[in-house]
Chain A
């Protein structure tokens, strides 16, 4: 008995629960348990919409039609009450449009609310939304029938005109056929022309010539096209125009300048008040300048030895490093003095022989000179350096010449390499005999002498 009651109770509870479940599913589908907002819209033709018909907002099932107020006159409209869930209220704006739609070809009719403009506020609840009347199928068919009638009339008209045109074309073709038959039979000038073999040969030759000429013209045309294309692609025409314009302008400027120059030259080169022309005047002036500068050198040299200035040069030890003489250098007390810094560089390290027998500084020799200058340190700059040239081969004249060449090569290198002033670098060819203060009997190569600061003071 107890089990029977349990089974009965379970059955009843399960049945009630399933009934409630279906109620819930239907209610959920119809958004019954959600908050709703009501709107109104009006239609002249509701196209089968009834109470409970779906309302979609932007394609989303959002509610249903809850009431339909019938119009009281043909001029009035059906007034529909739409209940939509509050969640889609944000999509409905005052300019939202309501239209009747169909759920597929055989589906129910429903109302579609199109979302409005985003820049407008939400439509107020209980406001009336604009509607768009549905296009009935009968109206559509009526329009289609009218369109078909129009098309049919047009087709008939076209058919009539086409028939007339075809008749005219048939007549023309018949006439052309008669002409061709006559020509084929040799009637008329064209027929005779076509039947004559000589004429045909001439025509063939003419055609061959024409083809050849046409080919040539075509080839020339293609080249011209390419040329023109090339010009166009490079924009040469415009550039040439610009260049010519620039050249014209430049030529005009040159003409003007040349004219002015000619006038100036004419004026400048013309005879002066004494009747002597400019060239003779210039020549005479230059001669006078040479003479004056020679006198100036002698005067300057005389000044150096004058009692006013010679003290300075004697304290320095030399008058000029430009033309040191070997005997004077050896007898000088300060220049070859043992207190000066020396760098002895022998010949095999310094020079390479050219094919013509002359000498040039070797890379190793340049490196040796760099090392010597590096040993001199910062004191080498701004102080006088004397390059002593030595050569112990050959006779006295050859030794002198070779030692001078070596000293000259080294001086050029020092000036080029270290930017030394030419007044600070002197050379002296000493053949193969160093000054006595060096305690060397003979040498073959170069000796760099860095004068003491006192002696180099200018």
Chain B
């Protein structure tokens, strides 16, 4: 309220921004369901966004798994609960850390890339050229990228979860010579569907947010070469912020529909 009285212009600008980006997102959704479908572009973006991000996600997951186990081991051993380490590892990564970190990594790498590429196309008037060719530049450039983000994030999240589990096992094996079979048995002991499927599928929302925000900044920028850098930066910042905020909402929604997933 104070903000509204003191700074009414900025509020209007903020609300206008919300409205514009919401209409942009609505246009993405409606355009995605209308033919013609750009399968080739979508497939290409899956490779660009998904396959190219895999090394980053896998390495991060492995490292995080090792670090997580090292921390939890020293703590849980104090309570004589070392047998809980695999379960703690799997639940924490599958439910929250895996989806969130994978989304943030994709937002950092892909969001900046999408924003920069589309802003560059706009600045070099290539988007106008596409329009001149009677090709829907929105469907050609934006929709495949957003759809690709939606599709690949659950897969990248799965990679992140399993590499983290692998890292956790390697660290635990080095510490206590725990066998792989027993580690897996303990990791999935008491594991519910709601601990894996809803958290993994919620990353489709993260992918949509990352793709939409990044494409918005890149597709709508009109500031020449300077706008390219700004679009990349804004894409990363806003998409990361939206991912975290959306995660809060999505977790509550998951708890609402899957009470058993609440730890």
Contacts and interface: CB of A to CB of B under 8 A. Distances in A.
Binding partners A and B: yes
Interface of A: 4-5, 7-8, 10-12, 14-16, 18-19, 21-23, 25-26, 28-30, 50-52, 54, 61, 103, 108
Nearest to A110: B190
A29 B259 contact: no
B203 to A, nearest CB: 12
B67 to A, nearest CB: 22
Interface in B134-192: 152, 154-156, 158-159, 161-162, 184-185, 188-192
Nearest to A106: B81
A50 B50 CA distance: 39
20 contacts: A7-B47, A8-B46, A8-B47, A8-B51, A11-B46, A11-B155, A12-B50, A12-B155, A14-B159, A15-B50, A15-B158, A18-B158, A18-B159, A19-B154, A22-B196, A25-B188, A50-B259, A50-B260, A61-B189, A103-B190
Contacts of B54: 11
B37 interface: no
B155 A16 contact: yes
B190 to A, nearest CB: 7
Contacts of B191: 25-26, 29-30
B257 interface: no
Interface of B: 43-44, 46-47, 50-51, 54, 94, 152, 154-156, 158-159, 161-162, 184-185, 188-193, 195-197, 200, 259-260
Contacts of A23: 196-197
A22 B162 contact: yes
A19 B155 contact: yes
Nearest to A26: B191
Nearest to B194: A52
Contacts of A19: 154-155, 158, 200
Contact of A11 (B47, B154, B196): B47
Contacts, number: 76
Most buried by B among A7, A19, A51, A108: A19
B260 A25 contact: no
Contact of B192 (A16, A18, A52): A52
Contacts of B44: 4, 8
Nearest to A53: B260
A29 B188 contact: yes
Q: Lowest 5 A-B CB distances belong to which pairs?
A: A15-B155, A8-B47, A11-B51, A29-B188, A7-B51
A22 B158 contact: yes
A21 B158 CA distance: 10
Nearest to A16: B155
A445 B76 CA distance: 118
B244 to A, nearest CB: 24
Most buried by A among B44, B155, B197: B155
Given A18-B162, A22-B162, A29-B188, A52 B46 contact: no
A50 B155 CA distance: 31
Given A25-B184, A26-B188, A8 B162 contact: no
A22 B165 CA distance: 11
Nearest to B197: A23
Contacts of A18: 155, 158-159, 162
Nearest to B192: A52
Contacts of B195: 26
A212 to B, nearest CB: 71
Contacts of B190: 29, 54, 103, 108
Contacts of B189: 29, 61
B192 A10 contact: no
A32 B126 CA distance: 54
A26 B156 contact: no
Nearest to A18: B158
A169 B196 CA distance: 76
